[in-house]
Amino acid sequence: MTLVLHGRRVVGGVVEGEALVSHETISGWGGIDPAKGTIIERRHELHGVCFTGKILVFPGAKGSSGWSGFFQTTRLLGTAPVGMIFTVTTTKAALGAVVTRVPTVTDLDRDPVEAINTGDWVRIDADNGIVEIKRAAEPVDSAGQP
């Protein structure tokens, strides 16, 4: 079964990949290690988890304006997520998506953090604001373990 959500494009393009879902906002400056593509914020639910090559699903950005610089660095180092889906549009998250240059959607008709699980296969058609979700055969945790 495929679940389809509709939203608004932030950065165009089409991409598919495995979802990594954060129920917490993400800090760019000091919250991620751009060299490794991991969340490093100590009390974050995804502390130590790598987002490289994943569809990063999260509520939004927090912290300072370092978001754009840190996420641009992930693009330059090849550690960026392949796509982003977020719930709340802020200038930090939107600019971070633009400089990362990955297909990104927001303002979906259903909260993506609640609709998508880590390990689900997700296709983002950001040009048309469409997100297709295929459930993982077996639920996994944030580290990708069943």
Task: Tell me how many domains the chain contains.
Answer: 1
Task: Provide Rg for the chain, Cα atoms.
Answer: 13
pLDDT for 1-23, tens place per residue? 789 999 999 999 999 999 999 99
Q: In CATH, what number is assigned to the domain containing residue 79?
A: 3.50.30.10
Domain membership of residue 92 (yes or no) is yes
Domain membership of residue 145 (yes or no) is no
Domain membership of residue 67 (yes or no) is yes
Residue 68 annotated to the active site: no
pLDDT over 80 at 143, yes or no: no
pLDDT over 90 at 56, yes or no: yes
> Among 64, 65, 68, 142, which one carries the catalytic annotation?
64
Domain membership of residue 44 (yes or no) is yes
Domain membership of residue 65 (yes or no) is yes
Range of the domain at 6: 2-134
pLDDT for 24-36, tens place per residue? 999 988 899 999 9
Domain membership of residue 47 (yes or no) is yes
pLDDT at 142: 64
pLDDT over 80 at 124, yes or no: yes
